[in-house]
Amino acid sequence: MTKKMKVTPYDVRGKVNYDKLINEFGVKKLSEGDLKRIERLAGELHPYLRRGIFFAHRDLKRVLDEYEKGNKFFLYTGIGPSGPIHLGHIGTWRLVKWLQDRFDTDLWFQFTDDEKFLYGNKGFKEIRRWTKENMIDIIALGFNPKKTHFLVDTLHAGIMYPEAIKVAKKITFSTIKASFGFNDSNNIGSIFYTAMQTVPIFLPNILRNENRPCLIPLGVDQDPHFRISRDVVEKLGHKKPAILHAKFMPALRGPEGKMSSSLTNSAILMTDSPKEVERKIKKYAFSGGQKTIAEHRQKGGNPDIDVSFQWLRYFEEDDERLNQIREDYKSGRLLTSELKEILIKKINAFLKVHQERRKKAKDKINDFLFKTRSLYKIDV
């Protein structure tokens, strides 16, 4: 049964209709013109932009206008470290890396250990462990160590909290209730949390005495936080951030909801072995093929709902090859089992490199952690 669509930072359900979401959230669809402009400035267009995996934005034009005038933006994104990184997380970050390389920008990466402590039932120790594990995966994706700064909410509280209270003072409980569906029984930390996620929009400018625009690539479920932030930061005298919205990579088991590491059979983890990848895809990947081979040869499969094909859109960079696979599947020349084999190979090749880089990344965490003293001194 199809569940009703719901998209908030704390709940994604049902089959997501992205056009409807554009209206509901009040964001803009990325236009051909936007893509052409990015291509002109970047020298190429990332497949995730060509393929509509990033599909919407807020205020992108303003950031690009300033870029053309010589005021470079910085990138900001984040992760709530409550479990292992899986393939569903990294789509957004692969585009972030491309943006960092192409535009030669700083990236501020927030680890919201406070958020995951306040919202789930995991203990703080376990969350600290995931914070470190997640850092290893993020470093292994290849971000520039000179230009990437990890902010950990509880670790960098000394520089974040003085800014977070200024944000918090401008947000009412009723706004939070309306945005996230909270009620009087939610804990008071979770009510405050949006203030912490707002701070990295302007903290880099405060730390460096600059006035750069901020661009936030994110999974579209995070937009509600920033709808609140955008109004507030302006009231505090900072620029509104621009946002680039990504669709969710579908869960292995089917097109509804989003991938989650707590449902291990709906996700492939960055640390999964080749055998595990093969097992999960063969057993669980939702198929758009027909019930029997004979029927499949005759009617063909449906790549639009087939999770293996949808995942290939993230991992097969060659447009021509991807199109060929699509046509072969639609015509019935390619069977679901063969399509799955193609995907298994692609993912295992990707993970092999990633897992090698993971080993080296373990020693690099310290290079990525933002180092500072509190800006506030007490003069006595």
| Interactions with ligand TRP, residue window 5-24 (CB under 6 A) | 9
CA–CA distances in Å: residue 31 to residues 34, 50, 52, 80, 100:
5, 11, 10, 30, 22
CB of 79 to ligand TRP, least distance (A): 5
- Binding segment for ligand TRP among 76-84, 155-163, 233-241, 285-293 (CB under 6 A)? 76-84
| Interactions with ligand TRP, residue window 280-319 (CB under 6 A) | none
- Binding segment for ligand TRP among 17-25, 78-86, 137-145, 313-321 (CB under 6 A)? 78-86
With both helix axes pointing from N to C terminus, report the angle between 188-198 and 157-168 in degrees, rounded to the nearest 10.
100
Q: Which is nearer to ligand TRP, 9 or 257 (CB)?
A: 9
In DSSP terms, which residues pair with 108 in a beta bridge? 76, 149
**C-beta of residue 109 within 8 angstroms of C-beta of residue 75:** no
Q: Which is nearer to ligand TRP, 76 or 150 (CB)?
A: 76
Q: According to the binding rule CB under 6 A, does residue 34 interact with ligand TRP? A: no
Q: According to the binding rule CB under 6 A, does residue 159 interact with ligand TRP? A: no
Q: According to the binding rule CB under 6 A, does residue 78 interact with ligand TRP? A: yes
Q: Which listed residue (96, 218, 307, 312) binds ligand TRP by CB under 6 A?
A: 218
Q: How far apart are CA 212 and CA 233, in angstroms?
A: 14
> Which is it for strands 11-13 and 28-29: parallel, antiparallel or unpaired?
unpaired
CB of 12 to ligand TRP, least distance (A): 11
- Taking residues 99 to 138 in sequence order and writing x for each that binds ligand TRP by CB under 6 A, - otherwise, the string is -----------x-x--x-----------------------
CA–CA distances in Å: residue 76 to residues 216, 288, 298, 373:
5, 36, 49, 21
Q: CA-CA-CA-CA torsion for 60, 61, 64, 70, nearest 10 degrees?
A: -130
**C-beta of residue 236 within 8 angstroms of C-beta of residue 51:** no
CB of 58 to ligand TRP, least distance (A): 13
Query: How far out from the chain centre does Cα 156 lie?
Result: 22
Q: According to the binding rule CB under 6 A, does residue 222 interact with ligand TRP? A: yes
Burial of 236 (0-12, 13-18, 19+ CB in 10 A): middle
- Binding segment for ligand TRP among 70-78, 123-131, 337-345, 354-362 (CB under 6 A)? 70-78
Q: Which is nearer to ligand TRP, 222 or 290 (CB)?
A: 222
CB of 83 to ligand TRP, least distance (A): 11
- Taking residues 180 to 199 in sequence order and writing x for each that binds ligand TRP by CB under 6 A, - otherwise, the string is -----------------x--
* Site residue total, ligand TRP (CB under 6 A): 13
Q: Which listed residue (21, 216, 277, 334) binds ligand TRP by CB under 6 A?
A: 216
**Alpha helix segments (H runs only) across 26-147:** 32-42, 47-50, 60-68, 87-103, 113-119, 124-140
Q: How far apart are CA 179 and CA 176, in angstroms?
A: 5
**C-beta of residue 218 within 8 angstroms of C-beta of residue 47:** no
CB of 112 to ligand TRP, least distance (A): 5
Q: According to the binding rule CB under 6 A, does residue 80 interact with ligand TRP? A: yes
Buried b (16+ CB within 10 A) or exposed e, 25-36: bebbebeeebbe
In DSSP terms, which residues pair with 86 in a beta bridge? 269
CB of 92 to ligand TRP, least distance (A): 7
Q: Which listed residue (16, 48, 49, 77) binds ligand TRP by CB under 6 A?
A: 77
- Binding segment for ligand TRP among 77-85, 158-166, 257-265, 306-314 (CB under 6 A)? 77-85
Q: How far apart are CA 321 and CA 312, in angstroms?
A: 10
**Binding residues for ligand TRP, per CB under 6 A?**
9, 76-80, 110, 112, 115, 197, 216, 218, 222
